[in-house]
Structure 1
Amino acid sequence: MNENHLLAEGFEAHRGHLRAVAYRMLGSLSEADDAVQEAWLRLSRSDTGAVENLGGWLTTVVGRVCLDMLRSRTARREEPLGVRLPDPVVSRASGPGPEDQALLADSVGLALLVVLETLAPAERLAFVLHDLFAVPFDEIAPIVDRTPAAARQLASRARRRVRGAAPVPDADLTRQREAVGAFLAAARDGDFEGLIAVLDPDVVLRADYGPAPARAPREMHGAAAVADQALTFSRLGGRDLHARPALVNGAVGVVSSREGRPYSVLAFTVADGRIVAIDILADPERLSGLDLADLD
């Protein structure tokens, strides 16, 4: 077995972890794959004879690549106006497959990824690497060109923002299904009070329709506003959709279609038995890039 083959085997052993890091850093499945591929290219061109911890070395490389991508994205201001949701990881309601399990090993809900999108690139890197993957600040500091103490401060600032904006979801899928089922039934039946009962008073709804003109408000807050929107949507054609249960980033969600074409992916965040966030991806172009065929 030659050295290149051993190097490739070592890299493949870490691929799942690297993709998970990159996904949390970038919120994009395709960009995460690009970052992992770039890490492989850098590995194949490097002298790794003195590398004692290949996994740590690769994590650092992926961190640098993702940081550069985030900074480039910010500089270009390429995101459209309004809400842009991170890519959802959609799997069967019975449970994710092996590849998705690896990607979601440290469960990261869509609502958390939305909050991570608001962080500065260096803050996001410090938080993701330290709080989600336990990378020491001594290893994070060189990536962001800061001292370990400054890297710790970056993570601390990010942590405060995450705690204030990203709710901790119920871990029990049965409890999640009960809340989501009650919401869908109330919307279908035109039951405003039933919707209010299952929605947290401070619930937030975010909808990403892509660059096309919005068909409805892209973001709204409060149980009454969200309940009104759910009832309006149901009256204006929501009943014509074919809805399939799914898991979205490991939490209970719904994939809907119309005339065989994907229409939306809904991700629900349930905390203490009530829905605290609803994230809707309805961008036709992005939906077409998701593998939604094998959910039944």
Structure 2
Amino acid sequence: MDDQENLARRFEEHRGQLRAVAYRMLGSLPEAEDAVQEAWLRLTRADADAIDNLAAWLTTVIGRICLDLLRTRSSRREEPMDETFVPDPVLRPLTRIDPEQEALQADSVGLALLVVLETLEPDERLAFVLHDLFAVPFDDIAPIVERTPPATRQLASRARRRVQGATPSTETDFGRQRQVLDAFLAASRGGDFEALVAVLHPDVVLRVDAGALVRGGAVSKVVHGARTVAAQALTFSQYAGSARLVLVNGTVGVANAPEGRPLSVMGVTIADGRITHMYILADTERLERLDLPAVLAD
């Protein structure tokens, strides 16, 4: 029992890192937790005394688990990833923001990057996430994807080019982020169409993921252009009064749970004082797992 307790203690020291890897690999919080639990089970079945570097061993194991899950997804998927898909957001209250600490949060990877990662092939995603985001050497990644280190390096390089070309940059100052979102909510609550247009970039892209079913009139969609997006925002202005600012994946966003009923979470990217991309999760089943009322009550 003492050995098992010691092993569990050592595993817990690495849980945050493993969860961070799995979340970036899978874009799903429940799947990331399941992957971490599977890593623990595999550790209990291994000869722990023979593991020289537990952190490296666990990172390799979680990589293999996630890669298998991604490959299974790809084999079951008859069509490319729906362009309306929004990954599970990581939420925190907006109170007590410490920019330096937030920058160090393991799960503060932006929704914009996660959306782009969904477009990569499983092996590309693994090579990029492990090497570029967690500094795992290619020599350690190569056995996972069953390639040579040079070929693995090429996987990461190809993924990197796609990520850099498709991931929008965003304002990093919390104060300026909040100013833009405050202006957006004020215009929505006031039904001010021109004020909404003014806070949106002319080429803004709105992505709404309402899940597989139509709920409450919300449908999954991708909308382009400031005036079109502003019109969509006014359609749901009746809910703007209950919307609150929260941290969505480490940046200021909006969550809405009127009377404790999860309605939506919105993450954004901001450049030059205007919103360039909006990512809205309105899938009730997935929102209920996020416990929005608890986040908003803090």
Q: Is TM > 0.5 for Structure 1 vs Structure 2?
A: yes
State the Cα distance separating 1:153 from its structure 2 match. Answer: 1.1
Cα distance in structure 2, aligned partners of 1:30 and 1:200: 34
Alignment-derived partner of residue 223 in structure 1: 226
Alignment-derived partner of residue 261 in structure 1: 261
Deviates more, 1:172-181 or 1:45-54: 45-54
1:199-234, Cα deviation, whole Å (9 max, x unpaired): 223321111111113735611122232122223332
Matches within 5 A, 1:171-210: 171-210=172-211
- Give the 3-state SS of the residue equivalent to 1:55 in structure 2: helix
Matches within 5 A, 1:23-34: 23-34=23-34
1:67-97, Cα deviation, whole Å (9 max, x unpaired): 0001111112289956221111111011589
TM-score under structure 1 length normalisation: 0.90
State the Cα distance separating 1:103 from its structure 2 match. Answer: 9.3
One-letter amino acid matched to 1:111: A
Alignment-derived partner of residue 40 in structure 2: 40
**Is 1:115 matched with 2:119?**
no
One-letter amino acid matched to 1:200: H
Q: Kindly tell me: are residues 76 and 11 of structure 1, through their superposed partners in 2, closer, same or farther at Cα, counting changes over 3 Å?
A: same
Cα distance in structure 1, aligned partners of 2:110 and 2:212: 24
One-letter amino acid matched to 1:134: A
Alignment-derived partner of residue 136 in structure 2: 135
Q: Kindly tell me: are residues 116 and 64 of structure 1, through their superposed partners in 2, closer, same or farther at Cα, counting changes over 3 Å?
A: same
TM-score under structure 2 length normalisation: 0.90
One-letter amino acid matched to 1:231: L
Long gaps (5+) in structure 2:
none
- 1:19–1:103 CA contact under 8 A, matched in 2: no
- 2:211–2:220 CA contact under 8 A, matched in 1: no
Cα distance in structure 1, aligned partners of 2:102 and 2:235: 36
One-letter amino acid matched to 2:179: E
- 2:218–2:282 CA contact under 8 A, matched in 1: no
State the Cα distance separating 1:130 from its structure 2 match. Answer: 0.7
- Give the 3-state SS of the residue equivalent to 1:182 in structure 2: helix
Q: Kindly tell me: are residues 78 and 165 of structure 1, through their superposed partners in 2, closer, same or farther at Cα, counting changes over 3 Å?
A: same
Alignment-derived partner of residue 290 in structure 1: 290
Cα distance in structure 1, aligned partners of 2:122 and 2:104: 21
Please give the root-mean-square deviation of Cα atoms over the aligned residues, in Å: 2.4
Q: Between Structure 1 and Structure 2, how many residues are aligned?
A: 291
- Identity across the alignment (%): 63
1:162-215, Cα deviation, whole Å (9 max, x unpaired): 112112222211110011111222233333332233222332111111111373
Matches within 5 A, 1:237-256: 237-239=238-240, 241-256=241-256
One-letter amino acid matched to 1:218: K
Cα distance in structure 2, aligned partners of 1:24 and 1:96: 23
- 2:252–2:267 CA contact under 8 A, matched in 1: yes
**Is 1:93 matched with 2:94?**
yes
Q: Kindly tell me: are residues 192 and 55 of structure 1, through their superposed partners in 2, closer, same or farther at Cα, counting changes over 3 Å?
A: same
- 1:210–1:282 CA contact under 8 A, matched in 2: yes
- 1:96–1:250 CA contact under 8 A, matched in 2: no
Cα distance in structure 2, aligned partners of 1:68 and 1:101: 31
Deviates more, 1:177-186 or 1:119-128: 177-186
Long gaps (5+) in structure 1:
none
- 1:106–1:132 CA contact under 8 A, matched in 2: no
- Give the 3-state SS of the residue equivalent to 1:228 in structure 2: helix
